[in-house]
Structure 1
């Protein structure tokens, strides 16, 4: 199945104490490159995430972002930040020595002091985090793969249409290329009539035309192109990473087209060669995004 290298996947693990969200974005890349944005103390979990993703994706540049949200209900203890409260009290007393402030402290005033109250939350073990990460990341990876497969099917349809367009141009090249030999023969006859005895024309023309026909013969290149087109269709149905193979096929097709262009002497076929190159370039651009 054809897979694009562009996609997005999201996975969530929710418990009574926290919600772990993982998002994975991918773009095209020659190899598999995984970049993570995890807390530095999550090194073990980061290694687990990269290993798990490599089981789902073969090529592409992946950015992995994780967000851990602790539920307020999971608070296990509340502590007063006495050093901060004492510092605030001393500052207020110093201010009262200068200004006539006699208002008493209110609970609202105390609670409004930033970090005056310390909420101790339940600690999540590394093993629990690893399990939560595996669940969320698996969900995200599956969603990512599904999106890449949907995009891949669209790419396959585009490539098959381009292949049909390319085959039409190759048909025109095959149709018009023999005209070059006929035109060369006619031109040669007219030229030789001017300078050679007519009794010798036929024999010399046959030899010259035979040499020319061999030099401009593109039948082998056309046959190899037909073979490449067949391989392209078969490759699009393979259930593996096919991007590199398709890119190689495009290089081979372009090489054959360039050889045809250098041999071709027909103006009609030349136009078809230019069109074929244009189509091949569009195909190569699409293939750059296939896994």
Structure 2
């Protein structure tokens, strides 16, 4: 889910500003940007965020007006300074100068070059300052994350409403299919009756009488044989095209999904799994029926399920 949170906290060194935002992503991915002097706290910041956020692509930026203000203690890297000093003397010898003969000007330049070399002279904060700074930093991050969660919560509610609307679309399509099934059975019976009568002798055609269930033979053994065959064919058609079990399971999955939307915690993957099961049922329904009206309703169901799966990728 997308969201944004920002906090700003005044501290003795100035202030700390934390900005955190998330965009939709299937998994958890986080990028932290902290000023150099505060980089040692990155693990702490990451841990705080991962405890609250489980999915999404997260970007956290921590800024302050003067990062060097957090580092008051000068530290000399003696080993590095000695190494650089020896290298310079070695270079002087290579160039033909006598290392033993030096003057004040050369020593001053040499000292300046050594001190200006990266990491020879650095600043750091004391242990007590780091503890205090860590606490202030945690407050700022916690406040920003809290605002982010509030922002994501609002989007989560909107996603939930959209999924419920998709479930309603599926329900309507299932109702269309439910009403179509008995009509389809009657249509198939009439079509089959017409085809079978084409092959009946003229006398037997006249022996059929109309009833509410269709045409039935008036009497005679041959008439009964044809009638039994007709009944068997219709029964086989109904059996092979029966999708009542799939519709029942589909409704059960819909109830499970609505229940999941009311739960707390990580429900995104659960919704996605249920949607996959619903898609399998819709595939079976489409494969069993050759009716155009039912096929169109199945397409509507699949379209709604695909939209649910897309939204599920954004739900934590």
TM-score w.r.t. length of structure 1: 0.77
SS in structure 2 of the partner of residue 241 of structure 1: coil
Q: Which of 266, 270, 277 is matched with 2:295 structurally?
A: 270
Query: Counterparts in 2 of 1:154-193, with a 5 A limit?
Result: 154-193=158-197
Equivalent residues of 2:35, 2:67 under 8 A apart: no
The answer (yes or no) to whether the contact 2:31–2:58 under 8 Å persists in 1 is: yes
Deviation at 1:71, TM superposition (A): 9.9
| Counterparts in 2 of 1:73 and 1:24: CA distance versus 1, 3 Å | closer
Alpha-carbon displacement from aligned partner over 1:57-116 (angstroms, at most 9, x marks no partner): 121121111102249999x9xxxxxxxxxxxxxxxxxxxxxxxxxxxxxxxxxxxxxxxx
Structure 2: where are the runs of 5+ without partners?
73-122, 205-222
Shift of 1:40: 4.7
For 1:160 and 1:36, how far apart are their aligned partners in 2?
A: 36
Q: Distance in 2 between matches of 1:278 and 1:287?
A: 14
Q: 2:275 aligns with which of 250, 256, 274?
A: 250
Identify which range, 130-139 or 216-225, moves more after superposition: 130-139
More divergent stretch after superposition (221-230 vs 250-259): 250-259
The residue that corresponds to 2:14 in the other structure is 18
1:57-76 correspondence runs (5 A) = 57-70=53-66
* Residue in structure 1 matching 2:132, options 128, 132, 141: 128
* Structure of greater Rg: 2
1:30 CA drift (Å): 2.5
- 2:210 aligns to what? none
How many residues get paired? 243
- Segments of 5+ residues of structure 1 without an aligned counterpart are 77-120
1:205-244 equivalence runs, <5 A: 205-244=230-269
Q: What root-mean-square deviation, in Å, do the aligned CA atoms of Structure 1 and Structure 2 show?
A: 2.5
Provide TM-score, normalisation by structure 2: 0.71
- Identify the structure with bigger relative contact order (alpha carbons < 8 Å, sequence gap 6+): 1
Deviates more, 1:132-141 or 1:33-42: 33-42
The Cα shift of 1:123 comes to 5.3
Q: Displacement of 1:286 after TM fit?
A: 2.0
Name the SS of the counterpart of 2:248 in structure 1.
helix
**2:257 touches 2:274 (CA, 8 Å); kept in 1?**
yes
Within the candidate set 39, 47, 52, 1:51 is matched to 47
Contact 1:242 1:290 (8 Å CA) reproduced: yes
The match for 1:6 is 2
Q: How do 1:8-157 and structure 2 match up within 5 A?
A: 8-40=4-36, 42-70=38-66, 125-157=129-161
Write the distance in 1 (CA, Å) between the matches of 2:233 and 2:313.
46
